[in-house]
Structure 1
Amino acid sequence: MGKSYKRHIAKSITWRIIGTLDTILLSWLISGNPYTGIKIGLAEVVTKMLLYYLHERVWFKIRAGITENGDSKRRHISKTVTWRVVGTIDTMLLAWFISGNAMVGLQVGGAEVVTKMILYYLHERMWYQLDFGLDKRRKEGTST
């Protein structure tokens, strides 16, 4: 297994911890039931880990947003937006099915658009500073 795969697995795990805690809290506050929040958060651990890993692999293969000087802020913003679309749809469906209430699904999804985009962008910037899983520091998105 290449080092980039280890990096993407580690990023998936750290993001999922942050994302799950955010979903549990939002779902609890919106549904009024801490158990509903926990159920939604735990259900999305499985779906989001797979979806996030696939999202990372796609973005690793493309060079969108890479500049000659290595600046990646536009790339990270683009990744943030594409991930949020996928993640929000997943959360809305899970919250709806688990709570039995479509409005809870819409409210949880709507609330997390804001919190998750901020958290995801900060997560991306943190990982950009780390060399874990890279042979050497290089521009993200270039082939290994």
Structure 2
Amino acid sequence: MTEAHYRSLAKAGSYRVFATSLVFAIAFLYTGTFDAAAKIGITAAVGKTLLYYVWERIWNNITWGRHSPN
């Protein structure tokens, strides 16, 4: 069974919202400024979203641990 591209994108996007919130909070604690924390959070979000999408597509081609429906 394969996963549609739109499903991988939805998973990546929803995960990124949660993860970016954490990155922003940590960056704000370290920098003390909203602007710097936002730049760090946005940069990390874009890069990690692309990376996560590629990772999902790679794993979609690996059959290890998958079972076909009976």
Residue of structure 1 equivalent to 2:18: 18
Residue of structure 1 equivalent to 2:9: 9
What is the letter of the counterpart of residue 19 of structure 1? A
What is the letter of the counterpart of residue 12 of structure 1? A
Residue of structure 1 equivalent to 2:45: 45
Residue of structure 1 equivalent to 2:29: 29
Structure 2 alignment gaps of length 5 or more: none
1:46-67 deviation digits (Å, cap 9, x = unpaired) = 2112111001101111133x16
Provide the rounded CA distance (Å) in 1 between the counterparts of 2:66 and 2:40.
39
Pairing of 1:50-69 with structure 2 (within 5 A): 50-64=50-64, 66=65
Structure 1 alignment gaps of length 5 or more: 69-137, 139-144
User: Relative contact order: is structure 1 or structure 2 higher (C-alpha 8 Å, sep ≥ 6)?
Assistant: 2
What TM-score, normalized by structure 1, do the two folds share? 0.42
What is the letter of the counterpart of residue 46 of structure 1? V
Superposition deviation, residue 3 in structure 1 = 5.8
Q: Give the fraction of aligned pairs with identical amino acids, expressed as a percent.
A: 30
SS for the counterpart of 1:11 is helix
Provide the rounded CA distance (Å) in 1 between the counterparts of 2:18 and 2:39.
16
**Would you say the 8 A contact 2:3–2:60 is kept in 1?**
no
For these two proteins, the number of residue pairs brought into alignment is 68
What is the letter of the counterpart of residue 18 of structure 1? F
Provide the rounded CA distance (Å) in 1 between the counterparts of 2:66 and 2:42.
38
Superposition deviation, residue 31 in structure 1 = 2.0
